[in-house]
Amino acid sequence: MNVSPLQEARYEYTPKLPGMLRNGISEICVNEGEATQSVADQDRIRELFPNTYGKKEITFSKGANTSEAKKQVVGVILSGGQAPGGHNVVSGLYDALKATNSENVLYGFKGGPSGLLEDDYLIFDDEYIDQFRNTGGFDIIGSGRTKLETEEQFEVATEVCRKHGITAIVIIGGDDSNTNAAVLAEYMAAKNTGVQVIGCPKTIDGDLKNDDIEASFGFDTATKTYSELIGNIERDCNSAKKYWHFIKVMGRSASHVALECALETQPNVCLISEEVAEKKMSLSQIADQIADSVVKRAENGLNYGVVIIPEGVVEFVPEFSALISEINEMLAGSKADAFNALPDWDAKYAFISKGLSGESMKVFEILPQPIQQQLFLDRDPHGNVQVSLIESEKLFSALVGARLEERRAAGTYRGKYSPLHHFFGYEGRCAFPSNFDADYCYSLGYNAFMLIQYGYTGYLSKVSNLSRPADEWVAGGMPITKMMNMERRHGEDKPVIRKALVELDGAPFKYFAAHRGEWAEKTCYTFPGAIQYFGPSSVCDITTRTLALEKGM
């Protein structure tokens, strides 16, 4: 067997373009809007981007194509973690490029931005690209995490572009990669290299979102995949009636994924990191919140439930962050030697209790022993605690267990509590893109080429009105500098696209907050099931609840 029946069938799928891109290349004209300003720190950003700042927003519409008829040689790069739909960005880009001029060429740089620096590439043709249409993964050219940000890298990139006669680079990536795309665009313009740079908004985390980007691609498919599994587990839980499932979902710094999954599946509890930070919640407070649901449900004979935990939540708990900082400080450099020389955990524990502040020691004491040991024993090459390795689903289930035993002793809880643990992450990053992501990504790529063809640089491929059917989508571009502000990163002020965290006064969170009391006590589970690619539009073509709520639908 070479390809699965579904893959075979998905090859036949024709992604839907926004209405104004459906009339053929010769019928796409451009409309320029107002000149733009960055969302903050305008003077500073203008100064840093003298050649690309303040450009106009543009939208495409049906009309005679007035672009210059020159041969285009475009390079495309996939940057960072996989997100469903990446292959469709590439195929949309390729199709527009070839439809414009069959002599145009598309290079794919392999293994992420490093492929551009190392001149490691392939040249796309129909046969190759047809194997990847409407499929998941980034294996079409691979991806990587090299950051394109230094002057030296830009010089190398320029040289590679010159060698191949490349006229434009398309960077498909998250907030950092698009920030770097803007910096590269500015460099290319300043040096008069003749190379344009266009970005495309990717990330399953959903944190690349602002007034101009309604959704980053991949978020729809990834959250639908996790929601399928969470819903299945809810149904199992409601049938077996004997386990509390603690389910961690991917998404390190923002809780959009957890929140969307909660809106799709209505679990008993879902933690939202942004709320934890805003309310400065302690581990004990979080454990109590979950324990409250366990106790209330037990009173009604329901000794089971589902808790969703965003991957990065512990980093948002102030007292836990403080503990981590103290540990990093305590074992920095050669200070670790004395610790490492201690013979056993008891000796190490004594060392720790002497070294930590009273407040941090209180936090440390309530952690289950495997987590305590992990904090001290599994450190990265710089000696820092590897927060991303902390099994927070096990941490919280243990803390809740301890709370419940206290309540049992106090006579306020008589239930049974058997926790199970899950982590969903890798399962969702390379799923076959949903119809939404297949359409959206193909449109982003197609649109990216139209921006190139019309001579724009430093723009993000923008497709909006996404909560409506695809023929009503709006295609265009926005200067990346418009989305930027200055932020402190690694001790330096840098121009960056702001990471979008869950807004506690936004419609998605407010909907969740209005319903979670009922969900915590009763059983309100919903079961989304597997992503459907064929069948009723209500099942196959609807995007996220997050976007629907944001758009007031």
Provide the binding-site residues for a second copy, judged by CB under 8 A: 1-10, 81-82, 111, 135-139, 142-143, 225, 228-229, 231-233, 235-241, 245, 264, 266, 344, 346, 420, 422, 426-432, 526-536, 538-540, 542
Burial 347-385 (b: 16+ CB within 10 A, else e): ebbebbeebbeeebeebbebbbeebbebbbeebeeeeeb
Min separation Cβ 535 and a second copy, Å: 3
Q: Quote the strand ranges of 250-301, DSSP E.
A: 269-270
CB of 52 to a second copy, least distance (A): 31
Please, which residue, 66 or 239, has the CB nearer to a second copy?
239
Nearest distance, CB of residue 461 and a second copy, angstroms: 21
Instruction: Let me know how long the chain is.
Output: 553
Q: What are phi and psi of 320, to 5 degrees?
A: -75, -40
Residue 504 structure tokens: 């506690």
Residues 509 and 501: beta-carbon distance below 8 Å: no
Q: What's the closest the beta carbon of residue 270 comes to a second copy, in angstroms?
A: 15
**Residue 7: other Cβ atoms inside 10 A:** 15
Compare residues 428 and 458 and give the one whose CB is closer to a second copy: 428
Q: Of 175, 205, 207, 212, which is the active-site residue?
A: 205
Q: Of the two residues 304 and 459, which places its CB atom closer to a second copy in the complex?
A: 304
The C-alpha atoms of residue 435 and residue 446 are separated, in whole angstroms, by: 16
Separation of alpha carbons 293 and 521, rounded Å: 6
What SS3 state is found at 352?
helix
> Among this protein's residues, is 205 annotated catalytic?
yes
Minimum CB–partner distance for residue 161 and a second copy (Å): 25
Q: How far is the CB of 153 from a second copy (least distance, A)?
A: 22
Taking only Cα atoms into account, the Rg of the chain, rounded to an integer number of angstroms, comes to: 25
Task: For a second copy, give the closer residue by CB, 50 or 529.
Answer: 529
Using left for φ > 0, alpha for ψ between -120 and 50, and beta otherwise, residue 366 falls in alpha
Euclidean distance between CA atoms 36 and 367, whole angstroms: 50
- Pick 128 or 426: Cβ nearer a second copy: 426
Select 316 or 424, whichever has its Cβ closest to a second copy: 424
Give the torsion sign (CA, 387, 390, 396, 399).
negative
What is the set of active-site residues?
205
